[in-house]
Structure 1
Amino acid sequence: MAYMKLGGLSTLALLVASSVWAQDLTVAVRGGPESLDPDYSALGSHAEAAKHMFDTLVWANKDLQIEPGLATSWEPIDDTTWEFKLREGVKFHDGSDFTAEDVKFSIERIPVVTGPTSTAVYVRRVADVEIVDPLTVRIHTEGPAPTLPNDFVRLFIVSHTAAADYSTPETSAEGFNSGKATVGTGPYKFVSWEPKGDLVLERNDDYWRGPAPWEHVTRKEMPNDSSRLAALKSGQVDLATDISSIDYLALQQDSSVDTVVGDSIYIMNLQLNQRTDEYPGLRAKDGSDLPENPLTDPLVREALGKAIDRDTMVEIVLEGLGKPANQLMPEGFFGSNPDIPWPEYDPKGAKALLAEAGFPDGFQMDLYCTGDRLPGDAAICQGLGQMFSAIGIDTNVNALSKTVYFPAQARGEYSVMMNGWGTLTGEAGYTLGSLVHSSDKEKGLGAYNRTGYSNPDLDAKIEAAMSEMDEDKRRDMFQEAMADTVASRVLIPIVQLQSVWGAKAGLLDYTPRVDGETLADFIQPAD
């Protein structure tokens, strides 16, 4: 087993014993795309699939540090203008040239075609796109945007000609899912896709980075942990993602399978409804209606935080595959605050707080989460339910498919939610501006604020930090905003996940990306 920590990862490489693998690679993945339109969803599983066919303007390496992608360089011209130079000689899969027209088209279509887990967050600061010449674009922003290149690590570039007729909510799915518009510049070309099934790809021999290692790649979506493991052990697949903690322990004694563990960027967090008009799933102890939302009381939120035994969650529920979390980003990310205290597990204190808040016997609540998105999500959710019940809050746990959970969450149907959140851009503006800032469609902020929380003072701090061009000042401002967020206990960090991959025996070295993405073009066969 290889175990890698954040911050010191080497080049992603998968070395396997048999050269037969050099032609075909079959990967069992827990989650797949919701559509083949790369702009439809911001979920990691969706973007992971898209990266096989589409390139991003800026590339995030294995440590989420930004590097040139389809843009070779970028620089601020003034406080509200960034100039991006584009890579020369890049071809789309249909042989057409990649130009600035494709960048402008790709940016402008995102707010139109995006779905419930919105990708508009990546272009929220763009006011206008100016084409200077075929290989130069200037991005004009709504105020200073010092981290705009970080946002563009999820700016997928589609062909402005192939996608021209498939860039409305009504036409997007038909054009991309059929392959008509699925024309990118990425390492693999679209062959076929069955929703919830197989995504079949073939190598793009004219890829600008050079041909990928595998001629054919099949990504098999298999949400069930046991099914993925069975497919790996029976030889149906070469690599399986998201091995469960229980299966990981068993595989340590299995010589036919090698495993790799890596820290991930995903922080599981509890999200608590702050709306006073609607608070579904919250009931008095006897099941009757509550006169007001108990989650708006800071004492109740503090009690919920004290009820969580994070060490037990890691050691028992996750079998050691994780670490306790005290904020919404991993340690060392830009804007994470090293001075935030570690939360205290204190069930007696939690009960006392509930009594002080007027709930000496507790109350009833429904807790919702995904059961098929991230490793251990359902198990963590069940663990939370038991811990909350232990302090008198009778908790009904509902672990749902992500295709059900996220649209319902966006509609405000849940009051108590557990989400996994990854800071995909590596900096706090993405997380705080998306999760904590008041929902503001005009500013493109609060896109994933599902709690209804609104704090004008905190909003002002987040916006000021996002506009600060001085890096040291910006870091300090984000750290202060992160501390305020944690202190509010509207979003309660629980654990940072780790990910496990399993491969046929013969794996010599495999260093995963910290975002957990499994990209076929960075998986190398042995000589």
Structure 2
Amino acid sequence: MTSSISRRVVLQSMGAASLLGGLGLSTRAAMAQSTSLRAAITGYSVINTLDPAQATLIPEYYVMWSTFNGLMKFDADMKLVPDLAESYSPIETGGFEFKLRPGVKFHNGEVLSSEDVKFSFERVMSPDLASPNASKLSEVSKIETPDPLTVRIHTKAPYAPLLTFLSNSRTGTQIINKKAFEEMGADAFSRAPVGTGAYKVKEWNAGEGLTLEAHPEYFEGAPSFAKIEVPLIAEEASGVTALKGGQIDMTSTVPAADVAQLMKDDSVTLLRQPGLNTRFISINLTKAPFDDIHFRRAISMAFQREAIVQAVLFGEGVAADGIIPPQLAEYQSGTTRKYMTYNPEAAKAELAKSKYKPDEMEVPVITWGGGWWKRFAEIFVAQVNQVLGTKLTVEVTDANAAYARQKSGDFVAGVWGWLGMVDPDEYVGGLLTSTGWRNFQGYSNAQVDELAAKGAAETDPAKRPEFYKQAEDIAMDEVALIPCFFSNISNLLRPGIEGFDQKAYSNYGDQFYKMKEA
């Protein structure tokens, strides 16, 4: 899976030379003395947990990818390769047998065993925990540990996404230390988790950030940086200012508005490519007015997605007529979806079929912050109201409240999106099936459920896409949600830092151990 942007911008300079010169140091000499990396999480101000079984937010994964490992991982070419597993082989009836790397040590010195793997997965699977990541292992029927280095994961039937869902990506199946969890308890563990990753949590200040320290016995070799400072910077633009001012070394995101200028700035390193993400208007199909298919079809045709890409993303993305991103091109149907295309006259005609009049009620659209998510809502609302005469309004809250309301069903509409999802089942299965944990809309269609199940069971890569294409076509015809765009991902680094390999799923923390001073 490779970038469709033809060039990756890597522009370096000695922009900090004057500052360092004043201290009597050359730039290179000063960098060589650095033992810490200041890797800011930008655009987010909240981390709720570092327990993989409970994680939901992308900034949580940004940290966890450096503190944990999965059985599998994605290499630089986005191919699945073993991580904590040394090798794996399929089980004829469904599932895989994994041979673990011997001698892998957790942060507390305990040696990884098959019991840790079994414990980690069974926690996620437990109905009592109600893990948001339970769907990743929903097809697992049994886990066997015949010896300390062998794990057999049996599935009810062949299950194509399993290896992906056991990777160190946005899965929640990262391996934790059983002994540490049982001794610490869930709450303490969620703030000071014990994994096998290159870094461990030293300090966590809620709302401010974290300090990570190197795990010297990391199985891939001790990291170059002894410490990682991870400040939380709520506004992406503030992250750019902090980096250019020498206060941080890298950012997890870059404001779309700044990308064009930063591409020309030889005092920074900009990494940029299309991302594995989907951005949409989440609509509550159980409440008026979105319980009416004609109303939601009208809304979907009443705004220009391309205009939003330009106004919100400054061109750093592409318009969407579905939820599966271009990076998974083989799973896109390629059909023209009339209800996902700007057509004011057709939108008005569709609204005339609705049981609701355009100005009958106010329709709040939830958003948060003051950045691009807020602009997203504002532009969407303004366009729709202008075309249809509706009374959509913008309701601004914070990101945590927006998520909580979506999850509980306490909303009518809201800007929303997910990133870091690498398998089509995470899009169709997670967002569009009746049991999908990301299906906050309340959408339900038995045919979509059946097609998604067939797609997950189909292990032939050539046959699998057709099931997801059909499922998405049905859901988009019924406007299960209102797709808007897919955005590029970008990271910013100061000169002299190397080793960060950007991947399409926004793999921030998993590269810390590879990074070093040039």
Cα offset, 1:237, TM superposition: 0.6
2:37 pairs with 1:25: yes
SS of the aligned residue for 1:404 comes to helix
* C-alpha distance in 2 between matches for 1:295 and 1:453: 11
Q: Work out whether residues 187 and 207 of structure 1, in 8 Å CA contact, stay in contact via their aligned partners in 2.
A: yes
Match of 2:55 in 1: 41
Provide TM-score, normalisation by structure 2. 0.87
Match of 1:196 in 2: 207
Q: Work out whether residues 497 and 517 of structure 2, in 8 Å CA contact, stay in contact via their aligned partners in 1.
A: no
Pair 422,302 (structure 1): closer, same or farther in 2 beyond 3 Å:
same
Pair 91,14 (structure 1): closer, same or farther in 2 beyond 3 Å:
farther
Cα offset, 1:423, TM superposition: 5.8
Pair 404,382 (structure 1): closer, same or farther in 2 beyond 3 Å:
same
State the Cα deviation string for residues 412-460 of structure 1 (Å, max 9, x = none).
1012122112362x32222222111113xxxxxx112111111112111
Match of 2:313 in 1: 318
SS of the aligned residue for 1:481 comes to helix
Match of 2:299 in 1: 304
Number of residue pairs aligned between Structure 1 and Structure 2: 491
Match of 1:410 in 2: 407
Cα offset, 1:505, TM superposition: 4.3
Listed as ranges, the matches of 1:105-254 within 5 Å are 105-111=119-125, 118-153=132-167, 154=171, 155-166=173-184, 171-177=185-191, 179=192, 182-251=193-262
When structure 1 is superposed on structure 2, of 76-85 and 41-50 the one drifting more is 76-85
State the Cα deviation string for residues 271-324 of structure 1 (Å, max 9, x = none).
22221xxx2xxxxxxxxxxxxx23222221211111121111112221111111
Higher relative contact order (Cα pairs below 8 Å, separated by 6+ residues): 1
* C-alpha distance in 2 between matches for 1:176 and 1:359: 46
Given candidates 480, 493, 515, the residue that maps to 2:470 is: 480
* C-alpha distance in 2 between matches for 1:510 and 1:469: 32
Q: Work out whether residues 499 and 515 of structure 2, in 8 Å CA contact, stay in contact via their aligned partners in 1.
A: no
Q: Work out whether residues 40 and 118 of structure 1, in 8 Å CA contact, stay in contact via their aligned partners in 2.
A: yes
Q: Work out whether residues 12 and 267 of structure 2, in 8 Å CA contact, stay in contact via their aligned partners in 1.
A: no
Cα offset, 1:97, TM superposition: 0.8
* C-alpha distance in 2 between matches for 1:462 and 1:266: 19
* C-alpha distance in 2 between matches for 1:243 and 1:130: 44
AA in 2 matched with 1:398 = E
Cα offset, 1:254, TM superposition: 5.1
Structure 2: stretches of 5+ with no match in the other structure: 15-26
2:345 pairs with 1:348: yes
Match of 2:17 in 1: none
Match of 2:373 in 1: 377
State the Cα deviation string for residues 129-162 of structure 1 (Å, max 9, x = none).
1112111111122333122111112311010111
AA in 2 matched with 1:401 = D
Cα offset, 1:33, TM superposition: 3.0
Given candidates 467, 492, 500, the residue that maps to 2:482 is: 492
* C-alpha distance in 1 between matches for 2:118 and 2:396: 40
State the Cα deviation string for residues 189-225 of structure 1 (Å, max 9, x = none).
2211112222111112221112222121111111123
* C-alpha distance in 2 between matches for 1:114 and 1:23: 43
Q: Which has the higher helix share?
A: 2
Q: Work out whether residues 106 and 156 of structure 1, in 8 Å CA contact, stay in contact via their aligned partners in 2.
A: yes
Match of 1:466 in 2: 456
Q: Work out whether residues 113 and 172 of structure 1, in 8 Å CA contact, stay in contact via their aligned partners in 2.
A: no
SS of the aligned residue for 1:59 comes to strand
AA in 1 matched with 2:306 = D
Match of 2:21 in 1: none
Q: Percent identity?
A: 25
Pair 147,75 (structure 1): closer, same or farther in 2 beyond 3 Å:
farther
* C-alpha distance in 1 between matches for 2:5 and 2:308: 24
Q: Work out whether residues 313 and 372 of structure 2, in 8 Å CA contact, stay in contact via their aligned partners in 1.
A: yes
2:432 pairs with 1:436: yes
Pair 400,498 (structure 1): closer, same or farther in 2 beyond 3 Å:
farther
Q: Work out whether residues 36 and 176 of structure 1, in 8 Å CA contact, stay in contact via their aligned partners in 2.
A: yes
Q: Work out whether residues 22 and 213 of structure 1, in 8 Å CA contact, stay in contact via their aligned partners in 2.
A: no
